Every structure is written in C-alpha cells, then in structure tokens.
C-alpha cells in the first residue's frame, strides 16, 4: 500500500519512535497529524509540514477534542498509530492510586478507546497500528507496572482479532529497547536498559514497512521473534530475568544513596 495522501494520526510524535516515524510518514507524502503534549517540540520539528495537535491522551476530554480536530483538518482518518506510552521502571513502590491509574489510562485505556471511537459505525477501511513493546511478550524485573499494561494491550489485540469487522486491520508492534530518553524518564539517568537495543530510526523504518506491506504484526528484532517462538517450549528467559534482577538491585542501591543525600 502506498502511503502518499493517506490521512494518518500518530500519538507520541514529539520524541523517540513517534518523532522518527512521523518524519518518515511526512516524507512519504502522507497527510500527518502529529499528537503529543509538547506542542513546541513538534512545531520545532515539523513546522507547517504536519498538523500539530497538543493532547494528553490519558484525558478523555482532550482525546475527543483531538479526534474532532484531526478529522476536521485531515478530512477523515485512514490510519491511526497509537504510539504514546507511559514510561516506568523500578519496584511498584508505595500505594499511589493516581500513578497506577495514569499508566493504565495512557498505555491501555487510551488505545482501546481510540479504536472504539474510530471503528464505531465505520464503513470505510481503517488501519490501527499500536506500539505494544517486546515487554508485552516477556517479563523482566523492574517493569512490573509497565509489563502489566503491555500484557493487557497484547491480550486485547489478540482477542479483538477474533471479533473485529473486516474493514478494520490492527497491526501490533513489538519493538525491543530503543536508544531514546524513554528509560531516563522511566527511572532516571542510571536506569539499566535491557538488551538487545535498536535505534528509533530502524524501528520507525520497520513500522513504515509494516504499513506498506500490510503485515499481521511488526517485530523489529529477528532475535526477539525467535525468542518468542522458542519460549513456548523452553524457559529461555531465565538468564535474562536473572541478569535484570541483579541490575535492578544495583539501581535500587543507587536510588537509596541519592535519597540519603550521598
């Protein structure tokens, strides 16, 4: 499928994967609405080459307003890319209802609601791409909250495929660790980054290629794809989990020292 003149909305467009993918989509000739909270960052990156919409996707009022604006300015939506995500690393910590709610609203509820809104009464084709993460397929210590949201989203996609109408195509994306500020936002500058690691440009290329070819799912790492197949039979994640458990303990020690003022 050619992307030229396709009306595309992408969330999380101000940085990381979303920024790299937005640039590729604009270059392909698509009509793109870039969505994120940081409007100034998007204006600096895209200028008048894209529709810029400031929106906190965890807020249903802002999300509804974003859809109305995007649909009016683009004349409709052919492809929606739910890419924005709430970064979190560390132990689950003290009881914090608002934090727990925020991560699930951003990572799970918002993409599902967006799909519901776009598909309600729809007769024309829609491609709905959603960035899930490799952590929707495996568990690592330090990511309990983040893991749980991604497993929920992966479960939704797998089940929705058995219920969806024929005019809706859903494409989940499973990137591994990307070289961005994501992990710094998740747990600070000392946050351990799991392996393997990839550039945002490569992940964006994989996602763009997935849209063009109409694949069922996008795995950005062949190694991770093989792991997903083998892990159904053998417990190959035990080494990685043990390694990350050690890194989590070291990270917690550093955080304790910071809290004590050392």
Q: b/e per residue, 68-105, with b = 16+ CB within 10 A?
A: ebbeeebeebbbbbbbbbbbbbbeeeeeeeeebeebbb
Q: Would you identify the CATH topology of the domain 7-259?
A: Rossmann fold (3.40.50)
Tell me the pTM: 0.87
Domain ranges of the chain: 7-259
What are the tens digits of pLDDT across the range 90-101? 888 899 999 999
Q: What backbone torsions phi and psi does residue 11 show, to the nearest 5 degrees? A: -95, 160
Q: What is the pLDDT of residues 178-230, one digit of tens each?
A: 877 766 666 677 777 777 789 999 999 999 999 999 999 999 999 999 988 98
Mean pLDDT of 99-110: 95
- The whole-angstrom distance between residue 57's C-alpha and the CA centroid of its chain comes to 12
Q: Judging by DSSP bridges, how do beta strands 31-36 and 51-54 pair with one another?
A: parallel
Residue in the block written with tokens 């929106």: 55
Asked whether residue 254 carries a pLDDT value surpassing 70, the answer given is yes
């Amino acid at each position: 499928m050619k992307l030229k003149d396709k009306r595309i909305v992408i969330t999380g467009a101000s940085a990381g994967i979303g920024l790299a993918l937005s640039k590729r989509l604009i270059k392909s000739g698509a009509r793109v609405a870039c969505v994120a909270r940081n409007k100034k960052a998007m204006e600096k990156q895209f200028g008048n080459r894209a529709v810029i919409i400031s929106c906190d996707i965890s807020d249903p009022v802002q999300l509804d307003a974003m859809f109305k604006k995007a649909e009016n300015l683009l004349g409709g939506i052919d492809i929606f890319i739910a890419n924005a995500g709430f970064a979190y690393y560390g132990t689950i910590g003290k009881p914090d209802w608002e934090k727990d709610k925020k991560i699930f609203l951003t990572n799970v509820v918002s993409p599902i609601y967006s799909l519901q809104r776009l598909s309600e009464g729809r007769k024309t084709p829609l491609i709905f791409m959603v960035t899930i993460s490799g952590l929707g397929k495996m568990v690592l210590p330090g990511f309990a909250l983040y893991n749980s949201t991604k497993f929920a989203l992966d479960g939704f996609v797998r089940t929705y495929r058995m219920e969806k109408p024929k005019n809706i195509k859903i494409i989940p994306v499973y990137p591994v660790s990307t070289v961005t500020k994501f992990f710094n936002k998740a747990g600070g500058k000392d946050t351990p980054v799991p392996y393997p690691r990839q550039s945002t440009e490569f992940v964006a290329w994989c996602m763009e290629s997935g849209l063009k070819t109409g694949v069922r799912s996008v795995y950005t790492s062949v190694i991770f794809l093989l792991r997903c197949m083998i892990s159904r039979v053998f417990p190959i994640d035990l080494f990685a989990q043990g390694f990350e458990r050690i890194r989590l303990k070291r990270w917690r020690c550093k955080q304790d020292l910071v809290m004590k003022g050392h």
